[in-house]
Amino acid sequence: MRSKSLVLTSRDFLTFILVSYAVVIFAFVDAGLRNYLVLFAAMLGGLLFFVFGLRLHRQAFWAFLLLSFMAMQGLFVGGRGELGSVLLTLVYAMGYFAIASMLDRVRDKRAFVQGMMRTLIYAFAILSLIQMAASLVGLPIPNLGSTRGLWSYNSLAFEPSQLGRVVGISMLCYLVLDRLPVLPGHAEESPGTRQKVILAFLTTMLLSGSALAAAAIILVYFMSRSLILVIFLTSASFLIWPLFLLVDFGPLQRVAAILANLGTLDADALLDADESGAVRIIPALIYMKETSILDLEFWFGYGSDGLRRFFLGRIPGLGEKIPAGFVPGFAVVYGIIMAAFFAWIFAFRQANRTTAPLIGFWLIFMSFSAWNTQVFWYGLIVIQVAWAASRENALEQGEVRS
């Protein structure tokens, strides 16, 4: 009885931490856009290792090495002030590993993870509809964040583009797990439930009014079927992008405009096409244009001063802001070797047929987010939980050695 209670309690904490990484509730967000709910959940995850005696995975050893290298590099290049960023990375990682360890105690991981993804998609859809209704009748819009106005709703995210990433990877996770064989005694999603989830997904993404969400809808559809097909279609889209301009749908037209100006490397043109997408792409273009593999710092990092060197004042309209995400920001600060090590620990190490589409989605839509943000870590968490669910399924079929 005690064991059963303990498993139930750890499952509740697992649900709370995972949801906290996925959603933004502005009651817990300060003026600096720090989300205290996810920070509390992450630190709680670290505490639960002692409360429940959770087992650390081998992956945590590699993460400890990475964080140690980050701390040493920060001290060597930038001094003690650099340790604050490393500490924040550790906090997010604690929540990540708590989820991974508590998921070990869940029986039928596939059903649990699918259920979590389904619930999150429903929650985003419901709040999007409530926000739309409130805006149409002139009532205060609940949980309102940064939007484009009418027909652009952020739901449980900071902004519509973040919604597109969170809901997009959640839907993709739901679909790729749905492809796994259903084993005897395990739950299976009914066709009716699957259709409701798809409808909720499309409703949320379309109501966001985000160009990223529009692109994510297409990518989720094809990635849930064939990764090779996605690579082909992505390559082909660069050739046929003018056809997108013929479609009378604003978000899709902004995607086409971004593609049209990508080859010009013109920051002003990219910003005119779609500011939200451009501020994520431009830093990577600047870095690729100005860095050199002959520089020692390319391999071992420029420190945080490198961010100012490459990006400060280089993106029109952003002033003193430096919007460099994991790509290329992490490589600038810590070097390309550490960036590759990070990506291997938290993404590529978990690669299999089930997680490959999720890793592809994370690379395209989430790797350009800053590495000390909840949306970046939520993408990595989804990869991890999908890997755990797929591995359990394969083990029970006798396809993988224990």
| Mean pLDDT for the stretch of residues 224-232 | 70
Percentage with pLDDT > 90 across the chain: 53
d(CA 216, CA 360): 12
d(CA 199, CA 132): 16
d(CA 170, CA 154): 16
| Mean pLDDT for the stretch of residues 377-381 | 98
Token pair 């087992």 is found at: 55
| Mean pLDDT for the stretch of residues 198-212 | 93
- Confidence class of residue 147 from pLDDT cuts 50, 70 and 90? confident
3 state SS of 386: helix
- Confidence class of residue 1 from pLDDT cuts 50, 70 and 90? very low
Q: What pTM value is reported for the model?
A: 0.88
Q: What are the structure tokens assigned to 285, written together?
A: 């273009």
pLDDT: is 394 or 100 the higher one? 100
Q: What is the pLDDT of residues 70-94, one digit of tens each?
A: 999 888 876 677 788 999 999 999 9
Q: What are the structure tokens assigned to 307, written together?
A: 């961010």
Inform me whether the pLDDT recorded for 130 exceeds 90. yes
Inform me whether the pLDDT recorded for 205 exceeds 50. yes
Q: What is the pLDDT of residues 380-401, one digit of tens each?
A: 999 999 999 999 988 877 754 4
For 315, which DSSP code? S
Token pair 């949306």 is found at: 375
DSSP assignment string, 235-289: HHHHHHGGGGGGS--HHHHHHHHHHHHHTTT-HHHHHHH-HHHHHHHHHHHHHHH
Inform me whether the pLDDT recorded for 6 exceeds 70. no
| Mean pLDDT for the stretch of residues 186-197 | 87
Inform me whether the pLDDT recorded for 243 exceeds 80. no
Q: At what angle do helices 250-262 and 275-290 cross, to 10 degrees?
A: 20
d(CA 326, CA 297): 17
3 state SS of 325: strand
Burial 240-269 (b: 16+ CB within 10 A, else e): ebeebeeeeebbbbbbbbbbbbbeeeebee
- The pLDDT assigned to 231 comes to 65
Residues in the chain: 402
Inform me whether the pLDDT recorded for 256 exceeds 80. no
DSSP assignment string, 22-54: H---GGGB-TT--BHHHHHHHHHHHHHHHHHTP
At 183, the amino acid letter reads L
Instruction: Tell me what the pLDDT averaged over the chain comes to.
Output: 84
